[in-house]
Amino acid sequence: MSVTHRFFCSWKGNMIGVVVMSTPNAFSNLLGKEKKDKEKLISRGACISWSPKNTASWLIMRSIRWMVNNTEFRYFTAYSDPEARELGTIYQACNFYYLGQRFGANKQYLDPDNLKRGWFGDVGFNDRSQIVRYAKKLGIDWNEEWYKKAGAHNQYRKVNWKAIPNEVVFQLKKEREKHKIKCKVRVPPKKHKYAYIMGKNKKETKELKRLFKKNNPNIDPFKYPKERGT
């Protein structure tokens, strides 16, 4: 997941809310595979406790409108975590579509040597920073050419496995498996998922929503969950 866009709002000279959007690790294909690249993930969002009423929903919707007017993205997904007693009430207030509670990692891992990191999914073993740590542990000098460069300033770099010598790839992947075996494992509760669809005009919005219904006939988009659980 790579962060691509950041939004914030201020009040009386103070920053009171932020929204962060990212490229999802896996596309939802809610509008069909041919439009999968129209998706953006709302990966983070928060408002300070004393912010004016409805600041969070206002900021989310302003961020989405900016994205639609200035980029090619047309649908925006977000998760809420029952483990953190999140229900997604902000997304419900913004009339997001509800996609169900069946999302998230099948397994999560906890590194006994790095408890501050907390629980993470399989993709955590492939993080750029994690692969570089493996190299450092093995005494391998990291080569900048082993990165994929992306973004206007090459800030969204990923590991380019094809550029790494085969013998080094073998060592890194072997170390990754050793790390995975050492970690504690659990099955986490599934997350709620929401989506908002918007076009530049009413005609485009109508067509995008038609595609959503066509590709997701079994989803009742406004049957929101109400119980937070324990």
For 199-217, the pLDDT digits (tens) are 999 999 999 999 999 999 9
Indicate the residue among 149, 169, 186 that finishes a domain.
186
Tokens read off for 187: 């099955």
Confidence category of residue 153, pLDDT binned at 50, 70, 90: very low
Confidence category of residue 229, pLDDT binned at 50, 70, 90: low
Res 111 pLDDT > 50: yes
Calculate the dihedral angle through the C-alpha atoms of 78, 83, 84, 89, rounding to the nearest 10 degrees.
Answer: 50
Residues 40 and 152 in one domain: no
Q: Return d(Cα 53, Cα 144) in angstroms, integer.
A: 47
SS3 125: helix
The average pLDDT across 178-196 equals: 95
In this prediction, what percent of the chain has a pLDDT beyond 90? 82
Predicted confidence at residue 154, as pLDDT, reads 45
Q: Encode burial over 78-97: b for 16+ CB neighbours within 10 A, e otherwise.
A: bbbebeeeebbebbbebebb
The average pLDDT across 166-188 equals: 96
Report how far apart the first and last C-alpha atoms of the chain are (Å, whole number): 29
Whether 124 maps to a domain, the answer reads yes
Residues 13 and 81 in one domain: yes
Q: Return d(Cα 88, Cα 187) in angstroms, integer.
A: 22
Residues 94 and 174 in one domain: no
Residues 11 and 82 in one domain: yes
Closest CA to 46 of 74, 12, 76, 86: 86
Predicted confidence at residue 1, as pLDDT, reads 64
Residues 9 and 100 in one domain: yes
Q: Return d(Cα 54, Cα 57) in angstroms, integer.
A: 6
Q: Could you read off the pLDDT of 51-93 as tens digits, one per residue? A: 999 999 999 999 999 999 999 999 999 999 988 889 999 999 9
Number of domains in the chain: 2
SS3 65: helix
Question: pTM of this prediction?
Answer: 0.78
Whether 229 maps to a domain, the answer reads no
Whether 225 maps to a domain, the answer reads no
CA distances from 172 to 118, 146, 162, 168, 180 (A): 23, 13, 13, 6, 12
Question: Domain range for residue 176?
Answer: 108-186
Residues 138 and 34 in one domain: no
Whether 228 maps to a domain, the answer reads no
DSSP of 152-193: TTS-S-EE-GGGS-HHHHHHHHHHHHHHHHHSEEE-PPPEEE
Whether 226 maps to a domain, the answer reads no
Q: Could you read off the pLDDT of 91-103 as tens digits, one per residue? A: 999 999 999 999 9
Q: Return d(Cα 207, Cα 203) in angstroms, integer.
A: 6
| pLDDT: which is higher, 18 or 189 | 18
Beta bridge partners of 21: 5, 42
In this prediction, what percent of the chain has a pLDDT beyond 70? 95
Strand 39-47 to strand 75-80: parallel, antiparallel, or no bridges (unpaired)? parallel
Predicted confidence at residue 152, as pLDDT, reads 46
